Amino acid sequence: MSHVMNTYARQPVAFVRGEGVWLWDEAGKKYLDALAGIAVNTLGYGHPRLKKALLARLESGILHTSNLWRIPDQEAAADRIAEITGLDEVFFCNSGLEANEAAIKVARKYGHDRGVAEPAIIVMEKAFHGRSLATLSATGSRKVQAGFEPLVSGFVRVPLNDLEAVRQVAEHNKNVVAIFIEPIQGEGGINVSHLEYLRGLKEICERKEWLFMSDEVQCGLGRTGKWFVYQHAGFLPDVVPLAKGLASGVPVGACVVGGRARGVFKPGNHGSTFGGNPLAMTAVVTTIDTIKEEGLLDNAARVGEVIRSGLSQIAGIAELRGMGLMIGAELAQPCGELVRQALDAGLVINVTSDNVVRLLPPLVMSEAEGRMVVERLAPLIRAFAERSPQAAAAAR
């Protein structure tokens, strides 16, 4: 019996080696990776630049000092993040939920600084923000919350892409200080915010002096063909939590602030022992520099298009959604079994929200590898659709 706590329904496969977008299991079987450890392995596996930088970090003898001292790599990472986000200040932590926890604290502090004693934050149905008490309370999934009540208060939930619902809240709720949105919902099933909707939200934030907080933990860092989804909409948010792909596999989180959120946190308001440690910061700097130098934003847009147009030819997909290398194919039935079938076919994918096949490949995937993803996935989806109860009923 394994002593690992049983919090995940794990597949019986262990990957022990990786190169580019390829993985090998213990038996030596080779897999094409269209998931990147859930949007984490931006540069794929064994990228020579990342390897070299991390080895040099080890050679220096320093993996951790403390935020009690200056950390030059942290300053370099923050400069790069400020440049790509267009924002001003970066708080480093170690995961997505921590980045979001920091964002929620920034919003509350912003509210208190403005005399709002019980600040509230607008959040979206089907959003996923993490599993700490505050972030699971912000999350729009009863499955994530059940059993952990009482929830943290101060969240007002509205449906995604419904501007009128937010206008109603703006009119009636004087405690709201921020809108918190995952502009493309990942765990919720690759639900894409309309760009007009995002601009509408931003307009309301401007008028009401609320913070616009864009959770780009999964959809950010180049996956959609731009660094961040809000850049497709053409405005700057006030708070951007990041994690996952930011260090290409080394655990890291970052809460980036600008605009109205700039200067809200003062010394003593927040902290993290490991946050911004030299090991993770080396990986952040190298990941961002490599994305730039290898043109991975354009690559994500291009290869994403190859995969989407390939999938659009397949019968059996109810709806195809996403941007760049963040792709969801919704099927008519719950389709969790496809994960195992794909593994058998040498392909790593995920199913989220019961019936959405989710692809989040490394940004280094080539067009030819993108076509291989479609070649391996298409027969599985076709066969699944053909044996689904609906298809069987239609055939009768």
Ligand X SMILES: Cc1ncc(COP(=O)(O)O)c(C=O)c1O
Please identify which residue in 31, 91, 92, 128 interacts with ligand X, judged by CB under 6 A: 128
**320 closest CA partner among 362, 378, 372:** 378
Please identify which residue in 47, 57, 109, 129 interacts with ligand X, judged by CB under 6 A: 129
Produce one character per residue of 175-194: b if its CB has 16 or more CB atoms within 10 Å, e if not. Answer: ebbbbbbbbbbbbbbbbbbe
Number of C-beta neighbours around residue 334 at 10 A: 13
Of all residues in this chain, which one has the CB nearest to ligand X in the complex?
A: 96
* Smallest separation (angstroms) from ligand X to the CB of 139: 9
Between 73 and 216, whose beta carbon lies closer to ligand X? Answer: 216
> Which helix (H) or strand (E) is 288 found in, with range?
helix 278-293
- 100 part of the interface to ligand X, by CB under 6 A: yes
Between 73 and 187, whose beta carbon lies closer to ligand X? Answer: 187
Number of C-beta neighbours around residue 64 at 10 A: 12
- Contact between 241 and 213 under an 8 Å Cβ cutoff? The reply is yes
* Smallest separation (angstroms) from ligand X to the CB of 124: 11
166-185 residues in contact with ligand X (CB under 6 A) are 182
DSSP code, position 340: H
Task: Round to whole Å and give the CA distance between 105 and 272.
Answer: 14
* Smallest separation (angstroms) from ligand X to the CB of 364: 21
How many residues contact ligand X, by CB under 6 A?
14
Q: Which stretch binds ligand X (CB under 6 A): 94-102, 143-151, 159-167, 372-380?
A: 94-102
Please identify which residue in 34, 97, 136, 283 interacts with ligand X, judged by CB under 6 A: 97
Between 62 and 148, whose beta carbon lies closer to ligand X? Answer: 148
Q: Which stretch binds ligand X (CB under 6 A): 44-52, 91-99, 171-179, 256-264?
A: 91-99
Cα 248 versus chain centre, distance: 13
Kindly give, in sequence order, each residue whose CB lies less than 8 Å from that of residue 6, ignoring residues fewer than 6 positions away: none
- 186 part of the interface to ligand X, by CB under 6 A: yes
* Smallest separation (angstroms) from ligand X to the CB of 79: 23
Kindly give, in sequence order, each residue whose CB lies less than 8 Å from that of residue 85, ignoring residues fewer than 6 positions away: 227, 228, 240, 256, 258
* Smallest separation (angstroms) from ligand X to the CB of 61: 28
* Antiparallel, parallel or unpaired: β 22-25 and 326-330: unpaired
- 95 part of the interface to ligand X, by CB under 6 A: yes
Question: At how many degrees (to 10) do helices 296-311 and 367-387 cross?
Answer: 30
Q: Which stretch binds ligand X (CB under 6 A): 81-89, 96-104, 348-356, 387-395?
A: 96-104
Between 233 and 243, whose beta carbon lies closer to ligand X? Answer: 243
Please identify which residue in 18, 37, 130, 362 interacts with ligand X, judged by CB under 6 A: 130
* Smallest separation (angstroms) from ligand X to the CB of 394: 35
Please calculate the CA angle 176-209-243 and round it to the nearest 5 degrees: 75
* Smallest separation (angstroms) from ligand X to the CB of 94: 8
Task: Round to whole Å and give the CA distance between 376 and 278.
Answer: 40
**135 closest CA partner among 160, 147, 152, 112:** 152
* Antiparallel, parallel or unpaired: β 30-33 and 347-348: parallel
Task: Round to whole Å and give the CA distance between 88 and 255.
Answer: 11
Between 44 and 96, whose beta carbon lies closer to ligand X? Answer: 96
Between 39 and 347, whose beta carbon lies closer to ligand X? Answer: 39
* Smallest separation (angstroms) from ligand X to the CB of 97: 3
Using only the alpha carbons of the chain, give its radius of gyration.
21
208-247 residues in contact with ligand X (CB under 6 A) are 215, 217-218, 243
**Binding residues for ligand X (CB under 6 A):** 95-97, 100, 128-130, 182, 186-187, 215, 217-218, 243
